[in-house]
Structure 1
């Protein structure tokens, strides 16, 4: 597929967005859903600091870790259904899209740049969040970790996004807030713009592979800076 854009640096570029912590501030909802689920099985000391350990890891993989860590007897599929149910209730009540990310998506859409969302969240969660924020009108190519063999840090979701967009992985730029996602982008052979959600992870070696890092996270990210970098950046030949 030949990608065209009125900005020369975007002539061979597609953009793939992570969802949680990148496009939208959904981590508080994930934390609360997880806290409620664990409290229901007697784990009452789960706090935000512990939650940050799982940022960027798919829900299914997080729950698999919890089953072993907390000795949970409930089958994984039942835990997944319960976590997703609780999360969707919270997400549909209100999820905040980062204003500068929305501006960036709108600018790319106006330029005709192909875009996709590739997330560790369930497809139901992705649909609900994009619908609730109104971004569903601009972002229509979606990939959930449920639809590929392995979640991040493996590259499967990003490679599937490129396939669905009809572009080469090398022509894609990934936006990610978490180290596992930056690793996945690198493994996929894609460029990366990193916006660390957890400030303490900004020095993680995984982010060193990114072409552009907003070390201050969403407080530092601007649509103009990201767009200018894209316009000046080139895919590897």
Structure 2
């Protein structure tokens, strides 16, 4: 059994055939998934999807690409919306210095507001971090000094230093199809040392399809390939990866009631 901890079921590549996507996921042994918010203004769409399916949950947050467009969203508003019974996380929020689609100060402001919401609610913060390891680690450490908050570095693409600093703060790390790529040696090295009680799997669908589907539109059923690669890297069985990542998901995303 696997859970796709991060996908975007509202994106047209998936929403156009949602019944088929969910059927294929079930056939592949994917028992649940979280459809992740990229814009708070679309929260009603995420909750509608989650309300229609007992094994789908959602989050509330602003992707760093859109940070400058939702600076009017306050921490209080995030907290209020997160009370929805199908909302189990805050985010995704973070820092993306690869695309730099939003000013970096806006990204940092948004991230800190989401951290405050996670701290207030106890819901996990889903963090997007790309080519921003030093600033991300510094913000996480500074904010943790003001009060602990649960968090997950999703679709991990950073270095070992960020991973270790995040783990030291109690964070979790999620691996996507990128870990199956031949040039992903540094990520594979991180996947080898993350403790068994602190890692998750995801697709980030419709993006980043794993080998052997690279170049195709990704979907939750493909998370099996990521899990298989993690089993190979960690020297364990696929069944153990499924058991561990599902237990970790249930613990971190405790509002799902799976624990």
Q: TM-score range by the shorter chain?
A: 0.3 to 0.5
Identify, as 1 or 2, the structure richer in strand. Answer: 2
**Structure with the greater alpha carbon radius of gyration:** 1
Q: TM-score, with normalisation over the residues of structure 2? A: 0.33
Higher RCO by CA contacts (8 Å cutoff, separation 6 or greater): 1
- State the TM-score, normalized to the length of structure 1: 0.35
More helix by share: 1
